[in-house]
Amino acid sequence: MYARLIAEKLLNHKLTIATAESVTGGLLSSSLTDIAGASRFFKGAIVAYSNELKKSLLNVKQSTLINHGAVSRYCVREMALGLMQKLNVDIAVACSGVAGPDALENQAVGSLFFCVIVANKAYDFETKLPAGSRNELRQLFVQKILQTVEHILSEIS
């Protein structure tokens, strides 16, 4: 539902979007490309599951990973900024989190960090969803991100 609303807003305003994903492993971009006509608003995705790819493809600083970890608001902000630079889009969405089964970097299972950059403004989000299975959490993460992106687009349009 949210992906369709996002698509309508992007198409109406002739905006483009891209995603940089870690915890969702491409599910976020898949949700957007499920919409017919996605090629008119969706530029692409970078699934940077490893820290090496976060650094090399998205320009995440080594110091950020050391000081704050990959599952942090600092990391997703740098991922979103790197995505904007690499893919030259109007809207960049980046996410990282913990889908389990174990905690990671002192973050509990269900922790989600994401950043949305639109109109040169960055919106940072941190949430904790109830623990569930790994795949349930990843789907919930995607829905939370899409809901938030749709809300941001509604506010600015």
Give the pLDDT confidence of 21-55 residue by residue, as tens digits: 999 999 999 999 999 999 999 999 999 999 999 99
Give the pLDDT confidence of 83-131 residue by residue, as tens digits: 999 999 999 999 999 999 999 999 999 999 999 999 889 999 999 999 7
Kindly state the tokens that stand for 79.
Answer: 């991922």
Closest C-alpha among 49, 105, 119, 53 to residue 82: 53
Structural domain of residue 109, as residue ranges?
1-156
**Do the Cβ atoms of 149 and 4 come closer than 8 Å?**
no
- Pairing assessment for the beta strands 17-21 and 42-47 based on DSSP bridges: parallel
Checking if the pLDDT of 157 tops 80, the result is no
Q: Virtual CA dihedral for 61, 66, 28, 141, nearest 10 degrees?
A: -150
Q: How many CA atoms lie within 13 A of 157 on its CB side?
A: 16
- Residue 76: CATH number of its domain: 3.90.950.20
Query: Does the predicted model carry a pTM greater than 0.95?
Result: yes
Kindly state the tokens that stand for 92.
Answer: 């960049």
Structural domains counted in the chain: 1
Kindly state the tokens that stand for 127.
Answer: 């949430």
**What rounded mean pLDDT belongs to the chain?**
97
